[in-house]
Structure 1
Amino acid sequence: NNTTIQQLNNYYLNRSHHAQLISNLAAMNVSAQLYDFIFAARSNDKEDNALIKATSDAGNVYFGLAFELLKETPPGYEDPKKANDIKYLDRTKWRVVVKGDVTTFYVGVNPLATFPALSSASRGLGFLSLKADCDGAFRRLPLLVRYKNAFYPSYAFRAICGYLDVPPERIVVKPGRTITMKDAKRPGAEAGHDIVIPIDRYGNMVINFIGPWERMKHYNFADVLRASEDQDEMEMWKEELSGKIIVISEVSTGALDVGPVPTDTNFPLSALHANVMHTILTESFLRELSESEMLLIELSLLLIILMLSIRFSSTPFSLGSFAVVGGYVGLAAFSFFYANLIFNIVRPLLIITFAIISIVVYRYIKEEKERNFIRATFGRYLSNEVVEKLLGSPEGLKMSGEIREVTFLVSDLRGFTSLSSRLSPHEVISIFNRYLERMVEIIAHYRGTVDEIQGDGILVFFGAPLAGNDDQKRAIACAIEMQNAMEKLNLEQQQLNLPELSMGIGINSGEVVVGNIGSEKRAKYGAIGTPINTAFRIESHTIGGQILISPSTYEKVRSLVQVHGTMEVQFKGIDQPVTLYDVSGMGGEYKLALLTKTTESFTSLKPPLPITCFLLEGKMVSKTGILGYIMRLSESSAEVSLEGQVEIHSNLKILLSLKATPGLSEVYAKVVSLDQSNSTSSKVSVRLEFTWLPENVKTFFDNKRSE
C-alpha cells in the first residue's frame, strides 16, 4: 500500500523483498501464503533464487496464473505459450470426480503462469481471472475452469483445498448444482465433514462478502517485512498471525486491480479471493433461485398486478402496485438475510413496470407538464443579469468556464423538514413560497444570483457572472436583511396560526470554476469548487437567526463588519480548526444591524426534566444516547446536565422521557456553551439553543416555565 511505498522509498519492490516477506511469514507460522501476483518471467538470478528458496522452505506459498475465460474454445485455437509453461501446467492440472455435463463450465485460453522454477517450488498455482456480471460488478467466482481436457482451480479454491486437506480426487462436481469437498478437515482436527458449495452452470460460486474493505484486517507489507530486524517484534507478529491464511497484494494508489462489488464501488479484487475463502470456511453460502423458481414467482406477481388493475382505479392501483413491489423486495431481503437465498430483483420489477405502464401514462404526461412549469417558475429566481447573459442570446449558452473568486451564501430553514411532515401539502407550499418570495426579492436587491433551491435551502452567488469589488459586503448585507425579514414573516405566520420559522446562514469566499454547465438545450450557470462545500459546512454550524462567515470573507470586510464573537470548528479533511465569525451588523454604506433577540429569562425546573440526547452527524444519528436533565429553561434555550461528554457546536436530537412526557415529539438543539470547570466529574453542564421545537413540545415547555 502507499504506506509501504513511502517506508521503503520504492514503488517497485524487488524479489528479494518478497523472499524476505515469505521467510518472515513462515517463521510466524502462518497456515498459507497467497500471492496475488504472477511472476511470469525470470528477473535477476540472485533475487529469483532467493525467492525460489524462500518459497520452497516455507512450503505453504501459492502463486497465481491467469486465463482468458470463455464459454467455449474458439475454432482453430492454438495455445501460443512456450512448451515449458504448458508442460508445467500439465503437472498442476486436477482430475476431479464429475457427475454431469461440464461443457457449460468456462474454458481457459491464453494461460499466463508464474515462471516454472518458482511454480515448482510453490505449494501450487490457482487462476486469478475473474468474470464480472453484466452490470460490471463482481459477485461470483468460478471455482474450476477447463483447459486441455482437465480442470484448474481458482487461486482461493486451491488454497482452501490445501488448508482443509482435500485432494482433487475427493472433489465431486455436479454442474449447475454443487461442488462437494469430501471429508474436509481443518488443521489439527480429528474428524472431517463434507462441505457442499452451491454453483451455477458455469461453475460460479456466489460470494458472501464480509462487508466493505474496511471490515477486513489489513497489514502493511513493510511492517511485516521489517519485523525480522527485531526478535520481540517477530514474536508479536507471530502471536498475531500464527495459523492465519495470508493474502499478499497491491492496493496502493494507482493499482488497477479494483472493481465494484456489492459492498464497495472501488474494491481491491484481491480481497474478493479472501471473501471466497471466508465463505467456504464458514459455509455461509448464498444460493440463487433457479430459472423455473423465478418464472413461477414472476407469473404470480404479474397475476396480482393484473387483478389490481381490474379491481381498482388509478390511485388505489398505484398504492397497491407499490405494496406489491415493497412486499417482493421485503421478501427478497428477508430471504437473503435469514435464509441466504438470492431472488432476482431486476427482472420481476421490470415485469411489474411493464404491466402498469399503460395505466400511469396519463399521470406521467401530467407530471411532465408540471415539471416543465416548475422549471419555468424557478427561472424567475435568477437575477436579470444572469437571465440576460446566459439565456438572452445563443452566445450566452456557449460561455466557457473560468476561474473566479466568488462569495457563496447558503441559507437553510431550521426544522422545516419536520414541520413539513406535520402540515398539509398546501400549507407547506404556501409557507415556503411566502418565505422564498421575500428572500429572492432581497437577494435580487443585493445583485445576488440564486443558483439552486435545495429543499428548504438557498445557494446564492455574489461575484458571478459579473464580478464586483464589493461581493463580500453585499453578501453580508444581504444575509442581515434576510434574517431581519424573518421577523415580519413570522408575524404573518402567527396571524395565519402557523408555526414560526428560523433560518441559519453561512457565507464563504474563494476561487471556483464558473460557467455554463450542460448543453444548448438544457444549461445551467453554476460553479464547481471546494469553497461551495465549505459554505454548506459553515451553515450547518449555525443556529436559527445566526450568520456565520469564514476567515476568507471576514478578511475582506473586517473594517466594516461587526461580530458578536468567534467560534473554532473542525471540518473533516482539514487539519487545523477554522475560526468562524458571528455577524451582528454591517457598517459603511449599508449601516445594517441584526435584530437582537429580547434577553430571555431562565426558569429552574423542579424536578428537572429527564432527557436522552443523541449526537447528529449530518443525517446520521448516534446509536448510543447520553442521559441528562433539563435544569433551567427559557423560550429558546435550555441549561442541561449531561452524564456524558459532548463537544461545543454539536448538534443533538433530544428525546424527552416517555414516562414524564407521554406522546411528545423529539427536539433538536445545538450546544452553544460548555461548563468544564469540574474536570473530575463525568457530568457536564451545557447550554443548548433549540433549532427545532414542535408546537406540542413548545406548549409543554411554556407550561413548565409557568409552573
Structure 2
Amino acid sequence: MQQSQWHAPGAVDNAPAPARESPPVIETKVAIVLADIRGFTSLMASHPPRLMAQLLNRFLTAMCAMVDRYGGHVDKFMGDSVMAVFGVPQAGADDLGRALACAAAMQQSMAQLNNDLRRRGEPALYAGVAVNTGAVMAGSFGPAHHQAFTVIGESVNLAARMEGFSLRGQVLISAAVRAQAADRVIVGPANRVQPKGLAEPLALYPLRAVHHGCLLRVPAVEPRRSPRVEVDLDALFHQVQAKRVSSEPLRGRIRDIGYHGLSAELPMPFPRLTELAVRLPETASHPVCGDVYARVLRSVPEAGRYRTSLAITSLDTPAHRALKTLVDERIWRR
C-alpha cells in the first residue's frame, strides 16, 4: 500500500511562482489622445445610476472603436475618460497623423451617438479631446503578478492637463502637435494658459479639421466659451443701474467659474440681463484688482436660494485677467 505524503497546509499553494521576465521599459516618442465626458458628475447627480452606467459604456465603446480604426492602443480608462497612445507597443507609419484622425473621428462618433440618444429620449453626452506628442517611458509597470503596460512622462501629464481645458465637442492640440502637423491641420485661434510653475504661457489650439487621406472635420458644437471649474467662494455682488454701482452689497457664493461666466448662489433673484459687479475674494496668490462685471442669464430657485448664471462682460480688465489665471491654475492642478 502506497503511503501518502503529508504537506503543511498551504505549502504548495504559497510556493513562489516562477519569475516572469518583463518587457524592457524603453524611451520612445508617441502621440497621446485623451477623451473625457464633459459634465459627467452633474449628469450622475440628476439621472439614475443604471442609465449613466449604460451611457458610459456606450461612450467608451464608441471611443475605443475609433482608436482601433486608426491603429492606436487603448492605454487605460480613468472614470469617464479614455487614454490612447499611437506609437507603442510598436511604432507605426505616421503615428501623429493617425492620432489626429482618431481625435476628429471621436467627435464625429459623438455626434452620431447623440443623434441616437436623442431619438431614445436619453441625455446627450459631450466629450472634450486633447492630443499631445512627445517622449515617454513605455513598458510594463508593477509587481510581477499584477503588471500593466502603460506610458508615463511629462508628455502624458501635459495631455491630461490639456484635456481639462477642452470644451464640449472640441479637440485641443498642443503647440508641438501643431508644429509637427502644420501642413495637414486646420486650427482656430490659440488659447494661451499660464500653468503654475512655468515662466511662459502654453498655447493650445482647437482643431477644426485634419487631412488624413481625406479631410476629417471636427463637427461644430455650440460649446461654453470657456472651461469651468467648481469652486466654493464667498463673493460680494453689487447691482449696477445707469452705470452706477450700488453701495449695498449682496453676499453670495460662487459655485463654478470660467473665463467668460460663472454660476452663483444668491439670496434673491434678478431679472435677465441685470448687470452685477462681482468682487471676488482676494488671496496672496490671486489679488483680484477691482470688480468683474457680468449680466444675469437666468435665476432659478434652489434650496431656498437662487442659482444664478452670469455672463462676464468686462473682457479686458485686470480683474478679468486675474480671474483667467485663477481658472487656469485650478484646471492645471486637477
Q: TM-score range by the shorter chain?
A: 0.5 to 0.7
Bigger Rg over Cα: 1
**Cα shift readout 1:418-447 (whole Å, capped 9, x = no counterpart):** 111222221011111111111111111111
Indicate the residue corresponding to 1:468 in structure 2: 92
**Cα shift readout 1:623-661 (whole Å, capped 9, x = no counterpart):** 2336489xxxxxxxxxxxxxxxxxx96486513545332
Distance 1:499 1:417 in 2: 13
Indicate the residue corresponding to 1:675 in structure 2: 315
Are 1:662 and 2:301 matched, yes or no? yes
Indicate the residue corresponding to 1:624 in structure 2: 234
Question: Which structure is richer in relative contact order (CA contacts within 8 A, separation 6 or more)?
Answer: 2
TM-score, normalised via structure 2 length: 0.67
Asked if the contact 2:25/2:137 (under 8 Å) is kept, the reply is yes
3-state DSSP of counterpart to 2:163? helix
Aligned partner of 1:506 among 124, 130, 136 = 130
Indicate the residue corresponding to 1:431 in structure 2: 55
Distance 1:667 1:532 in 2: 37
1:548: Cα distance to partner? 0.8
Write the letter of the residue equivalent to 1:659. Answer: M
Gaps of 5+ in 2: 1-18, 240-256, 270-299, 324-334
Write the letter of the residue equivalent to 1:550. Answer: S
Indicate the residue corresponding to 1:445 in structure 2: 69
Asked if the contact 1:516/1:523 (under 8 Å) is kept, the reply is yes
Asked if the contact 2:210/2:217 (under 8 Å) is kept, the reply is yes
**Cα shift readout 1:166-185 (whole Å, capped 9, x = no counterpart):** xxxxxxxxxxxxxxxxxxxx
Query: How has the CA–CA distance of structure 1 residues 416 and 589 changed in structure 2, closer, same or farther, with 3 Å as cutoff?
Result: same
3-state DSSP of counterpart to 2:189? strand
**Cα shift readout 1:258-286 (whole Å, capped 9, x = no counterpart):** xxxxxxxxxxxxxxxxxxxxxxxxxxxxx
Indicate the residue corresponding to 2:252 in structure 1: none
Distance 1:442 1:663 in 2: 41
Query: How has the CA–CA distance of structure 1 residues 652 and 540 changed in structure 2, closer, same or farther, with 3 Å as cutoff?
Result: farther
Indicate the residue corresponding to 1:421 in structure 2: 45
Are 1:458 and 2:63 matched, yes or no? no
Distance 1:569 1:649 in 2: 13
Query: How has the CA–CA distance of structure 1 residues 622 and 422 changed in structure 2, closer, same or farther, with 3 Å as cutoff?
Result: closer
TM-score, normalised via structure 1 length: 0.33
Indicate the residue corresponding to 1:577 in structure 2: 201
1:265-304 aligned at under 5 Å gives the runs none
- Larger proportion of helix: 1
**Cα shift readout 1:596-649 (whole Å, capped 9, x = no counterpart):** 24799xxxxxxxxxxxxxx83xx6x252336489xxxxxxxxxxxxxxxxxx96
Query: How has the CA–CA distance of structure 1 residues 519 and 669 changed in structure 2, closer, same or farther, with 3 Å as cutoff?
Result: farther
1:8-47 aligned at under 5 Å gives the runs none
3-state DSSP of counterpart to 1:442? helix
Distance 2:310 2:150 in 1: 33
Write the letter of the residue equivalent to 2:99. Answer: A
3-state DSSP of counterpart to 2:195? coil
Instruction: Tell me the matched-pair count.
Output: 253
**Cα shift readout 1:348-395 (whole Å, capped 9, x = no counterpart):** xxxxxxxxxxxxxxxxxxxxxxxxxxxxxxxxxxxxxxxxxxxxxx98
1:591: Cα distance to partner? 1.5
Distance 2:232 2:197 in 1: 21
Asked if the contact 1:449/1:462 (under 8 Å) is kept, the reply is yes
Distance 2:309 2:126 in 1: 13
1:669: Cα distance to partner? 9.7
Write the letter of the residue equivalent to 2:67. Answer: I
Asked if the contact 2:86/2:96 (under 8 Å) is kept, the reply is yes
Query: How has the CA–CA distance of structure 1 residues 493 and 542 changed in structure 2, closer, same or farther, with 3 Å as cutoff?
Result: same
1:581: Cα distance to partner? 1.2
Aligned partner of 2:216 among 589, 592, 612 = 592
Write the letter of the residue equivalent to 1:595. Answer: P
Write the letter of the residue equivalent to 2:197. Answer: G
Write the letter of the residue equivalent to 1:428. Answer: M
Are 1:564 and 2:223 matched, yes or no? no
1:151-170 aligned at under 5 Å gives the runs none
Query: How has the CA–CA distance of structure 1 residues 503 and 598 changed in structure 2, closer, same or farther, with 3 Å as cutoff?
Result: closer
Distance 2:266 2:63 in 1: 38
Task: Using the aligned pairs only, state the percent identity.
Answer: 27
Instruction: Give me the CA root mean square deviation.
Output: 3.4
Distance 1:425 1:599 in 2: 26
Distance 2:309 2:86 in 1: 31
Query: How has the CA–CA distance of structure 1 residues 460 and 487 changed in structure 2, closer, same or farther, with 3 Å as cutoff?
Result: same
1:56-205 aligned at under 5 Å gives the runs none
Query: How has the CA–CA distance of structure 1 residues 405 and 683 changed in structure 2, closer, same or farther, with 3 Å as cutoff?
Result: closer
Asked if the contact 1:506/1:548 (under 8 Å) is kept, the reply is yes
- Larger proportion of strand: 2
1:452: Cα distance to partner? 1.3
Distance 1:403 1:599 in 2: 37
Asked if the contact 1:653/1:666 (under 8 Å) is kept, the reply is no
Asked if the contact 2:263/2:307 (under 8 Å) is kept, the reply is yes
1:670: Cα distance to partner? 10
Indicate the residue corresponding to 1:407 in structure 2: 31
Indicate the residue corresponding to 1:197 in structure 2: none
Write the letter of the residue equivalent to 1:655. Answer: A
Gaps of 5+ in 1: 1-393, 601-614, 630-647, 687-707
Indicate the residue corresponding to 2:116 in structure 1: 492
Distance 1:437 1:599 in 2: 24
**Cα shift readout 1:196-233 (whole Å, capped 9, x = no counterpart):** xxxxxxxxxxxxxxxxxxxxxxxxxxxxxxxxxxxxxx
Asked if the contact 1:541/1:649 (under 8 Å) is kept, the reply is no
Write the letter of the residue equivalent to 1:625. Answer: A
Indicate the residue corresponding to 2:281 in structure 1: none
Distance 1:668 1:515 in 2: 47
Distance 2:309 2:177 in 1: 29
3-state DSSP of counterpart to 2:139? strand
Distance 1:462 1:551 in 2: 18
Query: How has the CA–CA distance of structure 1 residues 429 and 405 changed in structure 2, closer, same or farther, with 3 Å as cutoff?
Result: same
Write the letter of the residue equivalent to 2:54. Answer: S
